[in-house]
Chains A and B, each alone.
Chain A
Amino acid sequence: DIQLTQSPSFLSASVGDRVTITCRASQGISGSLAWYQQKPGKAPKLLIYAASTLQSGVPSRFSGSGSGTEFTLTISSLQPEDFATYYCQQLNSFPLTFGGGTKVEIK
């Protein structure tokens, strides 16, 4: 099974900060990685797919990069509505797996 390790697991930041979250895969997954945002009590929302493609309707301050085993999600200027938990997911092979999550909180 492919393990995904996200870091950090917790992040405290201010509005306007640039934030970067890393997701490392235990083996190469090419570009088969998605990022999701989840707010408390809500279902996850797809943000980025194929490692770097922005889902329709997602603000351009979100971006993704990487391939193989290392991927990053960047928020260029953190907004109040971005405080949430972020998950990566690999779709390269079954079982599909998620990273452990990164909670972004207000400093």
Chain B
Amino acid sequence: EVQLVESGGGLVQPGGSLRLSCAASGFTFKDYWMSWVRQAPGQGLEWVANIKRDGSEKYYVDSVKGRFTISRDNAKNSVYLQMNSLRAEDTAVYYCARVQSYGLDVWGQGTTVTVSS
């Protein structure tokens, strides 16, 4: 079964850091770009970052540039999101997703990040 499972969410104070993980199974992970998408409470979807198959290219939404870093370990079939200098507006459910040229076709169940003092 093709599956993505996120972990690492939690409560963090403003200015703090958190590292999200996404474990993939059921497909050849190294053959796919991967993505992180977030959804603030009661709000719509926001694309956060993409990473190329070999990690050589990374793209970010402006609001997280310089604070978040997407990475991957193809040997561990995992993609990560290192989040630093967290703000209240980063509070959201974070999803990882498999990228096809035409869309995000496989999604994890999401992990919740709450930034609050």
Q: Footprint of B on A, CB under 8 Å?
A: 1, 32, 34, 36, 38, 43-46, 49-50, 53, 55, 87, 89, 91, 94-101
Contact = CB atoms under 8 A, between A and B. Distances in A.
Contacts, number: 60
A43 B37 CA distance: 10
27 contacts: A1-B62, A32-B102, A36-B45, A36-B103, A36-B104, A43-B95, A43-B109, A43-B110, A44-B45, A46-B104, A46-B105, A49-B102, A55-B103, A87-B44, A89-B45, A94-B59, A95-B47, A95-B59, A95-B60, A95-B61, A95-B62, A96-B59, A97-B47, A98-B44, A98-B45, A100-B44, A101-B45
Interface of B: 35, 37, 44-47, 50, 59-62, 95, 100-105, 107-110
A44 B104 contact: yes
